[in-house]
Structure 1
């Protein structure tokens, strides 16, 4: 008899029946699992082979996406770049040589130690060190004066708080740390006149006459808009300074504070006197300052990146200072000079793009970066509010904006918060008394 041939599925079913029951269950379970995996696993259909290629990113070309960063945080402007630096005259060089640029701030309502440090870009670590040396450093009152000096890296080299005419908190800073003491005036104050004749330069003869670098800086700054003691001083010019000094047992104890100053150059004469608010005014009680505006624009635009000299880079973790204020302005927005001054730079820079630098007397300098068009030229005199450029997106910039910087005595400060010069005269009710005191001072000088 011929054997019947089984088809494929029939043969498999017959073999399955001959298997033990436990083996049949295991085989059926495994089969269901394999079918389930086949159903749920995505299948890729390609008509050709795909070759994957890994392309490394150039970190220098990657910019973090952030609303607080309108220009690459890893691109810094070198403060010593000759293209950006402002030339110094003899007085500036002498003051820099003696490391005697003295900064000051008069406490107003709402000020705190931390807010003052923030306005002037001072190190918070230095502030904490002052607090550790004496916690009373943070107890400030309206009208008190802070005075300090910093080195090239922005670290404090001296710090004082003039509490009142008698008491001054003095913090001595060295590599070993900070020590504190309070100086209390124990003697009597007398007005002393020092005088001199210009032979080589005002600075040299003023030092010979007994004025300190700090006093010279104060007088040069006070007169910067009326008479430039560095550039306009001439041989045989005469000057007289009335200084209030402390004497103990008949001996001079302090260098004192300049109260009045008289300068004669040929037929020209100017007399200035310190008012009770600590500022100098002319013979008529008029301000010696030139006013500044807060914003370099016709209206307020969103600040895309604020002033922050201690900003940390989000990737490297290193300090990446932002020494200005960035405004998110459309390309072509009018840029205004924030004060009267002279254009000392108006050119192109590979990082700053088209930029303008204006010198405002001796104390202040402003910078305007990433411009689309420059409307002024080097050497041109400009007025506060004058249109000097159009904002843009030139240089190393991640989007249209205006980068604006304000420098005081060569150091960047927070233009949005730091007190700005105001050209207000002495109040009418105080003017007659001021003029009377000035006349008495003038007679003592000439006497």
Structure 2
């Protein structure tokens, strides 16, 4: 008997016999590792977690955990891991799945790698960041923050602009119709993930029909420190910030005679008290060197900064100090946090101000401006800002 097969049966049998080759999985690179080579565990620091317990739960022995901590403690302090921060564990692709690396994400960009395998070590690194420039404009209808939000911009733009223009424009007295144009840079991780504002390159803010220009420029090529100057090369910055923090109110001013709320007696109060919530960051009001970072029964946690041969400032009653003696700080650097240590009845910072070794009321001082650009450097400055000024000119102002 003859057996007949149709053409379709032959095709089907050929398909069954055909060996289909699967495409290899795409190579995934992250944190300097090829993730395809590992079993990848992603998680976040939870309440009650510790670095040791995390590793133990993933198969590392108590003895090895102790050894790892001792080896890496100068680079990675396991006591300072923060609730909610993401981490990644890379395990070997074997039956034991031994952890080879622990990666702690300090923030969106910075991370710390702890090699937990044969060669124990730790190092800090950063994800690849791309800077992209944007040009925008906005108009004030109610407030600067509302105008920034209307343009779909990061809220930190408001903070940056307030810092730039704090000595030129009173942002509590903006008028409807005031407007601005910006050229600024944004950060992107791996060219795609938004990671915040890098800096404002140039701006013009029209307030009460007067334009206020600002250009970001490093006048000192040695230090590389950036500052903002106007179209005439004049500094927008003052030598001192108006206040050492974002405060709720001034609870007590400099006075030759004040009733002390703790000591219950009349005495001079040679400082300015700024009330603010516990933990509010405290800034150095000018560039300088920390000459004291300590604790006394009266001052509590305090920091003292020498700015030059004339001016020194001190910040009292901190909950925590953030700088050490001998450390150089720049204007606006966080040097501590608001508290109520020492002789204090509530959270505040007592800001003290010395002129030539004598305590003074900072509100009564004719304080200097920031260092201007030297005359010999001005031609270089004008050449540097010319393309930025042209870029601002291309942006159309928005109107209400």
TM-score (normalised: structure 1): 0.36
Q: Which structure features the higher share of strand residues?
A: 2
TM-score (normalised: structure 2): 0.40
Give 1 or 2 for the bigger CA radius of gyration.
1
